[in-house]
Structure 1
Amino acid sequence: MTLSRRDFTKAALASAALAATGVVSFPHAASAATYTAYVFAYFTESPSFQGADYGLHLAVSRDGLNWTPLNQNNPVVTPTAGQLGLRDPQVFRKNDGAFVVIATDLKGTNFGLNSQYLHVWDSTDLTNFTGYRRIQMHTMNTHTWAPTVFWDASRGQYGIVYSADSGGRAVFMVNYTTDFRTVSAAQTFFSPSFGVLDGDIVVDGATTYLYYKNLNDGRIYGARSTTGAPNSFTTYASGLIQGNAIEAPLLHRTNEGGWRLWGDSFSPVNNDYYAWSTSNVGGGSWTLLNQRDYTPPLNSKHGSIAQITDAEYNALVTRWGAPAWVRLKSSNFPDRFVRHLNGVARIDAYPFDPYRDQLWRMVPGLADANGVSFESINVPGSYLRHSNYELRLAANDNTSTFRADATFYRTAGLADSAWTSFRSYNFPDRYIRHSNYVLRIDPLSASSSASDRQDATFRITS
């Protein structure tokens, strides 16, 4: 059954009222069948901070794996009080169907600045944000980082859990609220024998799940509780790690009934995100996803994901707009993207700076509008063209030779028909491929080796 927005809101309000009496739990605002897409909230950083922005960024996705940044990956709203910046935003759907956005009060990486406050906005559908305020969570001389929100049905209140230091150790604190304006006194929520950071909480039926970073070993663990009450959690999922370090676990349901867990790299110089999946969050066993299967939002750091309806997805894209650029992701090196460097076209592991080297305007082919040409975003008027079969970035001289060298035809991917390959306009037996990470055009066909076909296959993403 599909609920109208009006019926959906009435049902949400009625269930919330019952939950407040302790009669019934109301863990999320609509049935899973209502949700068809996802929204990702985040801030941005890149290795030398050329892509750093500490406002609220949003991206959307149909599959929850490959993301489209909104508003040209610019912030949709920015704090105007406190430290004038945010980190670690969470977008949370309340029991009335509307959203609250809550975030760390910190701009940049001066982690020694201790704020007792969190940023808060209200939003009906994330196309506008109202009621901006900061709420004071405690009076201690410590930080208030990485908030996560959950509905505690037994209390009839929302819990706001965040990282802080108490008694010389990193712990999670909690305050309770009904309106995200006034909060209860802070109390310790989770304080094992080791320091913890970056909690994320999801309620599933009678179980409350808490995923966190263990500061002793740098890994992500899962804990659970049958009550969701402070100090009632038991760790049950073994530590997960990828790369050199990982933090900021992000746990969410999928629209198909499964679960995903994302982990953010420890610093902007490493890969942005890794992802795991499971069909049973209670089992504690997670399968690492191949990076071919997902593309996080550009420069995204420590975010949150919420399920949204088709109408909400369309409203977000209409309000904020899709990117005016694309990126090209390598099939067999899925952590690498096509970029220009010193005039040479190549694939490099992301992230890197200047990060805009990988952004392209894919325009109608300069020699044939049925084809495509790639104009650099940060060197406008310059295009990818082949010269002696090697791809380079060069200024358009408007000659027929340049136009022909810079034009390619999109075809089904030679290694994966769901991806894309690019055939040269003026050397129609040759395709763009990478060799030793450098791009060139070489003769290729369906009978070429699997390795060569993979070298010539890319995902057009954003």
Structure 2
Amino acid sequence: MRLLLLIVAQISITYCAPVRPTQSLDFSSYGLTRRADPSLTNYLGVFFLGDKPSVYLYLSNGNNAISLKALNKGNPVISPTKGTQGVRDPSIITGGGAEAGKIWYIIGTDLNIGKTTWDASQRTGSRGIFVWESTDLVSWTNERLVVVEDTSAGMVWAPTAIWDDTKSQYAVFWASKFYAASDSKHTGTPSAIRIRTAYTYDFKTFTTPKDYINYSPTNIIDIDILPLGNNTYTRFLKDETAKTVFTEISTTGLFGTWTRPGGSNAIIEKSVEGPASYWDNQVAGKAHLLLDFYGGDGYHPYESADVKSGKWTASDKSTFPKNLRHGSVLPVTDAQGKAVSAKWPM
């Protein structure tokens, strides 16, 4: 009854999601679409740049979701001092619950490929997640490297997180592969790469992780989740075996039943990785998706007016910067955009 009254009154509801400070619920099942949010007037992106494993900030040119400019004169804003002293796949997470609007986190992969090899990084790589936090999106402090997997794991890659209202905690996701207990040096054949999950209140302590997606023998990495409202989500995954990115939809929650729009072989794009999704600030029901052409010039933008359909088309990339690698984008307010650009000017 409460939901019906909200729909009739056309009251906008705010949904707290980890990669954007405000999100309207999606009422598509009631014949409505996600409403644009006039309080959001810019987009803040966090990326790494290929052979430069630090966090770089980009701000949109006005309210254009696919036109970004480098901040801090193109220099990194965060360079890690712990672990391998290299961070990849940064993801910006907005606070949920009592932390909403008060804190943001950047989490990422502890990997400096210039100091290792791809084989070694998956056999004896870091089992931790890099974390930084901010109360204003301007200053990033309290760097930490939190170990989340036991010694049977070969690595922890591409972490991301989402506030789960049903648990009042952050659900965190990453990719790992595992070795037999008898194979302490990880020289043998590992498991397929799977997506793992754990919960945290503060990105300091985590629950014991468990499998979230295990499509063995297919290797799955690079998960990104976009909340659609009404307990509905879309998630984006890289099939590391086929080198493609595809999407799945759940109308029964984060841990519900997931289906693949278009069938089991449907994909969004090939030879890509690092999907990063976010809603458009101005156009109701429109979403954006960045896909990293890792063998080429990095991220290209895609868009969809019907996320549930799984149909995405390439956007005009003429104003999108080249060579941006796996990261994430956060829609922000005018005040937030001005504060970040004042601290980290072009």
The TM-score range, normalised by the shorter chain, is: 0.7 to 0.9
Q: Which residue of 2 aligns with 1:57?
A: 56
Shift of 1:271: 2.2
Is 1:117 aligned to residue 141 of structure 2? no
The 8 Å contact of residues 43 and 55 in structure 1, kept in 2 or not, is answered as yes
What is the DSSP-based 3-state SS (H/G/I as helix, E as strand, rest coil) of the residue aligned with 1:34? coil
The 8 Å contact of residues 79 and 85 in structure 2, kept in 1 or not, is answered as yes
Shift of 1:231: 7.0
Q: Which residue of 1 aligns with 2:326?
A: 302
Where in structure 2 are the equivalents of 1:330-369 lying within 5 Å?
none
Computing the radius of gyration from Cα coordinates, the structure with the larger value is: 1
2:110 alignment partner, one of 102, 105, 110: 105
Q: Which residue of 2 aligns with 1:171?
A: 194
Q: TM-score, normalised by structure 2?
A: 0.78
Counterpart CA distance in 2 for 1:170 and 1:160 is 16
1:142 alignment partner, one of 154, 171, 174: 154
1:313-359 Cα shifts (integer Å, max 9, x gaps):
1111110111xxxxxxxxxxxxxxxxxxxxxxxxxxxxxxxxxxxxx
The 8 Å contact of residues 232 and 253 in structure 2, kept in 1 or not, is answered as yes
Is 1:282 aligned to residue 281 of structure 2? no
Q: Which residue of 1 aligns with 2:140?
A: 129
Is 1:241 aligned to residue 269 of structure 2? yes
Counterpart CA distance in 1 for 2:111 and 2:240 is 21
User: Which range moved further: 92-101 or 25-34?
Assistant: 25-34
What is the DSSP-based 3-state SS (H/G/I as helix, E as strand, rest coil) of the residue aligned with 1:316? helix
Aligned letter for 2:244?
A: R
Where in structure 2 are the equivalents of 1:197-208 lying within 5 Å?
197-205=221-229, 206-208=231-233
Q: How many residues align?
A: 288
Is 1:265 aligned to residue 293 of structure 2? yes
What is the DSSP-based 3-state SS (H/G/I as helix, E as strand, rest coil) of the residue aligned with 1:33? coil
RMSD: 2.0
Is 1:225 aligned to residue 250 of structure 2? yes
Aligned letter for 1:68?
A: K
Shift of 1:230: 4.2
The 8 Å contact of residues 260 and 275 in structure 1, kept in 2 or not, is answered as yes
Q: Which residue of 1 aligns with 2:186?
A: none
Shift of 1:116: 0.7
**Runs of 5+ in structure 2 lacking a partner?**
1-12, 24-36, 179-189
Counterpart CA distance in 1 for 2:142 and 2:203 is 10
Aligned letter for 1:104?
A: T
Aligned letter for 1:77?
A: I
What is the DSSP-based 3-state SS (H/G/I as helix, E as strand, rest coil) of the residue aligned with 1:313? helix
Structure 1 residue ranges, 4+ long, deviating more than 6 angstroms after superposition: none
Counterpart CA distance in 2 for 1:195 and 1:121 is 29
Counterpart CA distance in 2 for 1:304 and 1:260 is 11
Q: Which residue of 2 aligns with 1:162?
A: 174
Q: 1:250 to 1:26 in 2, by over 3 A?
A: closer
The 8 Å contact of residues 153 and 176 in structure 2, kept in 1 or not, is answered as no
1:198-233 Cα shifts (integer Å, max 9, x gaps):
111122212122101112322111012234444743
Higher relative contact order at CA 8 Å, sep ≥6: structure 1 or structure 2?
Answer: 2
Q: Which residue of 2 aligns with 1:73?
A: 74
Q: Which residue of 2 aligns with 1:84?
A: 85
The 8 Å contact of residues 190 and 233 in structure 1, kept in 2 or not, is answered as no
The 8 Å contact of residues 218 and 241 in structure 1, kept in 2 or not, is answered as no
Q: TM-score, normalised by structure 1?
A: 0.59
Counterpart CA distance in 1 for 2:314 and 2:235 is 19
Aligned letter for 2:126?
A: S
Q: 1:192 to 1:236 in 2, by over 3 A?
A: farther
Aligned letter for 1:164?
A: S
1:147-195 Cα shifts (integer Å, max 9, x gaps):
1111112111111101111461111001111111111111001112422
Shift of 1:80: 1.1
